[in-house]
């Protein structure tokens, strides 16, 4: 088994924060940024770096300018330390000339050490730690197979009405990182100009996440597992805000993958020790044990239980005979008022049912390693004496349907199978065995993490901190509705979430979910409404039976949330009571 070498990764880029916007507001971008690039070059020259000095470890570009501009460390051979450069100067230079400081050598990226980091917080600061476990495509019906998560429910708070803003990986993860809806991030898909890692990076979102906020506040931060669709470990650097980075690209199979780890490309093969969930678990345990003297946030984002649903070898025979749940929605024929994309679905065949049962069994097997990882992380926290000062947060980026509405396995719909996912939290001040009924969303995680850490939240976040709800407080003006935004249909063959022919592939839609209502507006002009009190499995579209006034109220509520752009405007738009009027 290969030894794990963990080195503190560069977080220089995080101190930029909102400096790009600030710098551009103070002076004409061209004049200021061009001068800033020259200032960086002059600072390196003043520190003793020279053109052609690479052999002595004091090359102007490779050993000084490139590390500063890319937020990375110097090569090991560097013989002089980096000069201190104001973050606003770097931000302004990047704005004007994104290519300035790009590595001018074919040499591989060097391993990283901390560069120009904020003053780290000592443990005596009293700040709590955060351990965030984010799974991939984990539906609510899989929690029953995870004993550590079930114990977390007993020890802490379960959010009974937690929803994602899109049932698709990259838009959902973008919302988690930034606290913003897709209509503000512009990230609606996994690939292309409006989705994926490249769009997230190029739109500047990496500079303003919960990671950059906590890093700037002195936290040690670690990101392991899955980042954003389209991220390539062989090509792309660590994102700003993370001390340690161990991220895969295509890790869905669980074996034979690469991690950009410690800023090196590390290949893992096909032995049981290479199983991805176990690898990131081990890295997480090591990071925690190295963080005894400093507050930390760690996110471990597993690829499990995403297709192909690969379990750990030790769990491959678990749950013999297990079948997918047969809820009233399973194999239910769409009614006459169902949207066009859902009509004409024929009944599930015996082979369909057998395949669904096999896949569900493998999904249940694959989450056993995730659950074991949670136990290992809890033990690591206890080993450094921080069990009473650490929040554990368990969730998923989206849900998954398996036979409901006659759909083969998939996601992307506005139904609860796809948008309603687990959120369980334990930690200091969190009352045990408590269920919170308020409507909460994945855009709330970013402001929650920043408040827990005493950090500065991104000022443009649409979500609200869950801290009052975590600690048992009543919040009278809390939202009553959540927005779901989806762009479709998905026809990109490069997308690992490309739906099968019978998996469900709806057109673009905007939807509202309250405790008692689901309302969907499709770009086709079709409308869908379910009274969840009378129709909890979302089988009967009754929009046409609503009074015109009620239909107008539903549409107005969608427009209001769709056009909100910060926590205040979104909070106001989300406090609607149309549910009472549609009964």
Instruction: Kindly list the catalytic residues.
Output: 169
By the 8 A CB rule, do 363 and 143 touch? no
Q: Where would I find the H helices in 181-326? A: 182-185, 196-202, 210-216, 276-289
Pairing of strands 257-261, 244-248: antiparallel
Q: Spell 25-59 as b/e; 16+ CB within 10 A means b.
A: eeeeeeebbbebbebbbebbeebbbeeebbeebbb
Give 197's contacts (C-beta < 8 A, 6+ positions apart).
170, 227, 228, 229, 230, 231, 236
Sign of torsion over alpha carbons 79, 97, 36, 38: positive
Pairing of strands 509-513, 390-396: unpaired
By the 8 A CB rule, do 72 and 93 touch? no
Distance separating alpha carbons of residues 142 and 422, to the nearest angstrom: 10
Find out whether the peptide bond into 10 is cis, omega within 30 degrees of 0.
Answer: no
Distance separating alpha carbons of residues 232 and 266, to the nearest angstrom: 13
Give 284's contacts (C-beta < 8 A, 6+ positions apart).
131, 222, 224, 298, 300, 373, 376, 377, 380
For 322-463, strand residue ranges (E) read 390-396, 423-426, 434-441
Distance separating alpha carbons of residues 234 and 230, to the nearest angstrom: 12
Distances (CA, A) of 371 to 140, 149, 399: 14, 7, 17
For 96-164, strand residue ranges (E) read 129-135, 157-163
By the 8 A CB rule, do 280 and 246 touch? yes
Distance separating alpha carbons of residues 570 and 498, to the nearest angstrom: 31
């Amino acid at each position: 088994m290969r030894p794990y070498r963990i080195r503190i990764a560069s977080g220089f880029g995080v101190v930029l924060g909102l400096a790009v916007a600030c710098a551009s507001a103070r002076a004409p971008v061209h004049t200021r940024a061009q001068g800033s690039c020259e200032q960086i070059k002059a600072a390196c020259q003043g520190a003793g770096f020279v053109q052609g000095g690479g052999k002595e470890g004091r090359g102007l570009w490779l050993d000084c300018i490139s590390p500063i501009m890319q937020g990375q460390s110097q090569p090991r051979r560097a013989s002089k330390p980096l000069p201190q450069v104001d973050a606003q100067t770097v931000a302004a230079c990047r704005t004007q000339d994104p290519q300035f400081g790009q590595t001018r050598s074919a040499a591989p990226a060097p391993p990283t050490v901390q560069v120009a980091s904020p003053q780290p917080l000592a443990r005596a600061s009293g700040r709590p730690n955060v351990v965030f476990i984010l799974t991939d495509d984990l539906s609510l019906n899989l929690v029953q197979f995870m004993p550590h998560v079930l114990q977390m429910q007993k020890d802490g708070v379960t959010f009974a009405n937690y929803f994602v803003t899109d049932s698709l990986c990259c838009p959902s993860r973008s919302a988690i990182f930034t606290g913003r809806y897709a209509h503000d991030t512009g990230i609606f898909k996994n690939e292309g100009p409006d989705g994926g890692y490249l769009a997230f990076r190029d739109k500047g979102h990496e500079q303003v996440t919960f990671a950059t906020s906590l890093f700037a506040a002195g936290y040690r931060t670690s990101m392991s597992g899955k980042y954003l669709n389209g991220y390539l470990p062989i090509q792309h650097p660590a994102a700003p805000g993370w001390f340690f980075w161990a991220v895969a690209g295509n890790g869905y199979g669980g074996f034979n993958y690469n991690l950009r780890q410690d800023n090196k490309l590390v290949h893992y093969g096909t032995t049981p020790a290479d199983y991805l969930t176990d690898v990131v678990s081990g890295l997480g345990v090591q990071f925690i044990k190295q963080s005894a003297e400093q507050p930390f946030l760690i996110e471990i984002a597993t690829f499990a239980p995403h297709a192909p649903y690969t379990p750990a070898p030790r769990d491959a025979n678990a749950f013999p005979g297990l079948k997918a749940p047969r809820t009233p929605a399973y194999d239910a024929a769409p009614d006459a008022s169902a949207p066009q994309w859902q009509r004409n679905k024929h009944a599930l065949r015996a082979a369909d049912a057998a395949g669904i049962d096999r896949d569900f069994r493998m999904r249940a097997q694959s989450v056993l390693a995730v659950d074991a990882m949670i136990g290992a992380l809890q033990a690591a926290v206890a080993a450094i004496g921080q069990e009473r000062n650490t929040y554990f947060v368990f969730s998923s980026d989206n849900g998954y349907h398996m036979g409901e509405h006659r759909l083969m396995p998939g996601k992307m719909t506005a139904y609860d199978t796809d948008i309603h996912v687990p959120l369980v939290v334990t930690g200091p001040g969190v009352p045990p065995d408590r269920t919170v009924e308020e409507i909460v969303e994945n855009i709330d995680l970013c402001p929650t993490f920043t408040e827990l850490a005493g950090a500065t939240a991104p000022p443009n976040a649409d979500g609200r901190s869950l801290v009052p709800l975590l600690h048992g407080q009543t919040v009278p003006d809390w939202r009553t509705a959540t927005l779901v935004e989806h762009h479709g249909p998905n026809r990109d063959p490069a997308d690992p979430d490309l739906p099968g022919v019978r998996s469900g592939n709806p057109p673009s839609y905007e939807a509202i979910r309250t405790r008692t209502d689901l309302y969907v507006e499709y770009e086709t002009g079709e409308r869908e409404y379910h009274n969840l009190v009378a129709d909890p499995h979302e089988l009967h579209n009754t929009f046409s039976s609503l009074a015109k006034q009620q239909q107008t109220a539903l549409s107005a509520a969608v427009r209001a949330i769709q056009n909100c752009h910060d926590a205040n405007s979104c909070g106001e738009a989300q406090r609607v009571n149309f549910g009472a009027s549609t009964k």
